[in-house]
Structure 1
Amino acid sequence: MTDQGTIWLTQEAYDKLRAELDDLKGPKRQEIIEKIASARDEGDLKENSGYHAAKEDQGKQEARIRQLEDMLRRAEVGETPPDDGVVEPGMVVTIDFGGGDTEKFLLGARENLSEGDTLDVYSPESAMGAAINGKSKGDEVTYTAPNGKELTVTVVDAEPYKA
């Protein structure tokens, strides 16, 4: 996940990720260290499932810490975009692939979604995201999909994401 482009985040999403990182690097990291030490005190490490589980948890936690640090380093924090119908990061966009075949998604980062929200997310750097960024309701855009196929979509709607 390193060296990717900028991630657009709302201030709320940025603060949420920052709090998660602080928790993982502080209390949660200490908790894992204590679990490992406690399991180590139980004896033979080869057959100690508690020790191996704690080490596995530690590995997952450290990977999440690296992921969060990378995301926050690349984050561009912005306000919710205006409700002007222009496609930009932070907007819920509805596109028509033709014949009424529509799709609705958030243009931005998954971290901007409220917990439990199942809306699809497209990156502004994706082929379609880059093609529709800056377009308005009614604009038709042709772009090359990752499979090399030319696709034409029409922007049906663009409104700010509301958590």
Structure 2
Amino acid sequence: MPEEKQHYMTEEGKSKLEEELNYLKMERRPEVVERIKVARSFGDLSENSEYDAAKDEQAFVEGRISQIEKMLKNAIMIEGDDSNNSEVALGKSVRFKELPNGEEEVYTIVGSAESDPIEGKISNDSPMAQSLLGRKVGEAVTVNTPGGDVEVEIIEVN
């Protein structure tokens, strides 16, 4: 049996997943079951679009529940290490600027389960994070992006 993927996450990320799981199990699942029950009462299931839509939604909800349960089961918690603020690591925020004179950007490197680039959280699996992990403050790093390679300098890690 293949080994299941490990999911790195912070306490905050784990809490959000647990909240979503609880919501899906306690609220969404019963709502969908009720929709299926009501749709069945409309008669012939072979031509019942309400029933088909409710069954599709049920499949989605059950799939998401299964996905979250696996992620939580295989969670590896990211421990904050405040002792080393010179090296980019999982769970740390990194400030860098594009060379030669680009704007500064700040991202926190998190597990894929909680990545949200709009919120400044990038997945440890992303090309950006892969380029930065293990690097130190002051280093210039080449980052492979969809728009081409970009050179950045790491300014701060915390």
Q: Please, what TM-score do these two structures have when normalized by structure 2?
A: 0.73
Q: Which residue of 2 aligns with 1:100?
A: 101
Q: What is the number of residues matched between the two proteins?
A: 154
Q: Which residue of 1 aligns with 2:134?
A: 134
**1:12 paired to 2:22:** no
SS in 1 for 2:137: coil
Query: What whole-Å deviation, never above 9, does each CA across 1:20-49 have from its counterpart, x for those lacking one?
Result: 223323443233122201210121224433
Q: Is the 8 A contact 2:8 2:112 kept in 1?
A: no
Mapped partners of 1:82, 1:6: distance in 2 = 24
* Identical aligned residues as a percent: 30
Question: Which consecutive unaligned segments of at least 5 residues does structure 1 have?
Answer: none
Greater shift in the superposed pair: 24-33 or 34-43: 24-33
Cα distance, 1:11 vs structure 2: 1.7
Q: Is the 8 A contact 1:110 1:121 kept in 2?
A: no
Q: Which residue of 1 aligns with 2:82?
A: 82
Greater shift in the superposed pair: 51-60 or 103-112: 103-112
Specify the code of the residue in structure 2 equivalent to 1:100: N
Residues 20 and 50 from structure 1, CA distance in 2 versus in 1: closer, same or farther, beyond 3 angstroms?
A: same
Q: Is the 8 A contact 1:141 1:154 kept in 2?
A: yes
The two structures, once aligned, show a CA RMSD in angstroms of: 3.2
Q: Which residue of 2 aligns with 1:152?
A: 151
Query: What whole-Å deviation, never above 9, does each CA across 1:74-122 have from its counterpart, x for those lacking one?
Result: 32113334272432122222222312224332211365479xx822433
